[in-house]
Structure 1
Amino acid sequence: MIQLFQFLARQRVILLLLLLELVNIWAVFKYNAYQHSLYFNTTNQWAASILATTQEVKTYHQLRIVNGTLAQENAQLRSELLRLKSQQQPLTKFPYYVSEAMLNRYQAVASRVIDQSTRMSQNYLTIDKGRSDGILPGMAVISSTGIVGKVMSCTDNLALVVSVLHTSNSVSAKLKRSGELGYIKWPGYQSEVADMMDVSKYKKVVKGDTVVTSDYNAVFPPNIPIGIVAKVGLEKDDTFHDIKVMLFTQFATLQYVYVIKNRLAGQQAQLETTKPKSE
């Protein structure tokens, strides 16, 4: 303490000069209109800039919560959309009654992607929902724009999804305009492009046609968007079209997905196991 007082005593002249300078600066800004206005405007600009930056940081950190809430709302809307699609009457002369069970067949569950690959020949995703959320192997996974893949395995809180970007994975599909059936298969390169196979060369296919899941899909609900026809040619054997499809789902930036629960999947599987074997 004594040393501190000795230091202040030695520097008393400089400290007094600094104090007088501060008083002088304060007096200039206090009693002169121009300087006072300049000080007021400058400090307001700094304060506004600091507040804006703080708000941006807070907003950025809240984006995950906001996105999660929106994903949950979208899941509810998607479930209702699937219900409404099931309720549509076919354009035939015979009446068609859709049971309540069929109307409520599909339910969407929002989930966040916590890991994925897109550059391998066999790609997978890991999502933050599992058995405790009702997720089971075999369930379809879609995004807000199109198909994503199929649940392969689950733990209580996580699930592994086989991506559409997998050379051993295929999806039953159809051309929305004509209803022509085929299947989608990824060739192993370019995460934005897949092939549509087994479409006869005698069927008309037009660049720009929309490709959706077929009505005979074992995994996905019908009419889920897949992509758009980007190129049409002929296979080497001249039997089928060579169709390149630009996928709607942007896998490189995928953050949230929807797992589609099929409430009748168990009944369908049990029923189909009772089919008589062909002789």
Structure 2
Amino acid sequence: MGELVDFFIRSRHFILFVLLEVLCFYFIINTSNYWGVTYFNTSNRYAAKVLAWSNAANEYARLREVNADLALENQRLNAQITQLLQSKPAAPAAYQADSTFAKRFKFTVAKVLNNTTQLANNYITIDKGTDDGIRPGMAVISPTGLVGKVSVCSPHFSYIISILHSEFLVSSRLVKANEIGSSKWDGMNPRLIKMIDVRRDKPVEKGDSVVTSGFSLTFPPGILIGRVRTTGVQPNQTFHDLTVDLATDFSNLAFVYVIENLLQPEQEKLEKQIEKEK
């Protein structure tokens, strides 16, 4: 306490000077309209800047929470869209899928913890595992398109084989051309993928959407893979040479959705039973 008193005593002239300056400034503002208006406008301008910086900092701090909320909302919307597509498949008008079939896909949102894009065989790690109902073989998509397939699980984490993997192959369909083929990464550009086994007698246009065909127990039909970037013909082959822009930006992947086919065990059991009887 004594040191504080000593400080004020030593600095009494400077403190008095500051108090007098403040008092003069106060009188100038209150006795002159010009300086009063100038002070008011200047103070408001700087106060607005400080408030804008404060709001920007608060919004940035809430981005993680906002992203998580958006991921949950996308999970709900993906489930509704898939259910709608399954209830009205591309089939004769007389066909009507039952409610169980239409609701066969379940979506679980997960956060990406690790992700590679420059290897020959790329992988992704997410923060959901067997305790969350995740198991090997489940499909994985992003808010914009296909991602890969679950390979290995622990109670709290899962290891996903990315579509950017030398052994990943998915049955695909060209929307406009209505032609079935397969999508496979050639190990070159992480933004591009090849679509193979599309017959050359079928016309293919640039910009045509490539989606999952539905001929799979893993992926729901209609999941966007990408759009045709270039078309050509493989030398001495009867197939198109198609390069596709991937719909998913793997360099900026934050959340994914793991898809469970609730009817997959039943279908697999039936198919295995038929194979044994042949």
Q: TM-score, normalized by length of structure 2?
A: 0.91
Is the Cα–Cα contact under 8 Å of residues 87 and 99 in structure 2 kept in the other structure? no
Structure-1 separation of matches of 2:4 and 2:221: 83
Cα deviation for residue 164 of structure 1 reads: 0.5
Partner of 1:51: 51
1:251-274 residue CA offsets vs partner (Å, 9 max, x unmatched): 111222111111012222222222
Farther off after superposition, 72-81 or 40-49: 40-49
Pair 7,202 (structure 1): closer, same or farther in 2 beyond 3 Å: closer
Equivalent AA in structure 1 for residue 30 of structure 2: K
**Sequence identity (%):** 39
Partner of 2:238: 239
Equivalent AA in structure 2 for residue 72 of structure 1: L
Cα deviation for residue 215 of structure 1 reads: 2.3
Cα deviation for residue 219 of structure 1 reads: 1.8
Cα deviation for residue 20 of structure 1 reads: 2.8
Aligned length: 278
Q: TM-score, normalized by length of structure 1?
A: 0.90
Equivalent AA in structure 2 for residue 164 of structure 1: I
Cα deviation for residue 100 of structure 1 reads: 2.1
Q: How does 1:246-261 map to 2 (within 5 A)?
A: 246-261=245-260
Q: Does 1:166 align with 2:165?
A: yes
Is the Cα–Cα contact under 8 Å of residues 90 and 96 in structure 1 kept in the other structure? no
Structure-1 separation of matches of 2:178 and 2:202: 10
Aligned residue for 2:204, secondary structure, equals: coil
Cα deviation for residue 155 of structure 1 reads: 1.9
Partner of 1:20: 20
Cα deviation for residue 27 of structure 1 reads: 1.9
Aligned residue for 1:273, secondary structure, equals: helix
Aligned residue for 1:275, secondary structure, equals: helix
Structure-1 separation of matches of 2:270 and 2:12: 97
Partner of 1:30: 30
Q: Does 1:200 align with 2:230?
A: no
Partner of 2:71: 71
Is the Cα–Cα contact under 8 Å of residues 150 and 159 in structure 2 kept in the other structure? yes
Is the Cα–Cα contact under 8 Å of residues 181 and 214 in structure 1 kept in the other structure? yes
Structure-2 separation of matches of 1:97 and 1:9: 92
Structure-1 separation of matches of 2:43 and 2:260: 57
Is the Cα–Cα contact under 8 Å of residues 141 and 258 in structure 2 kept in the other structure? yes
Is the Cα–Cα contact under 8 Å of residues 217 and 261 in structure 2 kept in the other structure? no
Equivalent AA in structure 2 for residue 152 of structure 1: S
Root-mean-square deviation (Å): 2.3
Structure-2 separation of matches of 1:222 and 1:7: 78
Pair 262,31 (structure 1): closer, same or farther in 2 beyond 3 Å: same
Equivalent AA in structure 1 for residue 211 of structure 2: V
Partner of 2:62: 62
Q: Show structure 2 runs of 5+ residues with no match.
A: none
Cα deviation for residue 9 of structure 1 reads: 5.3
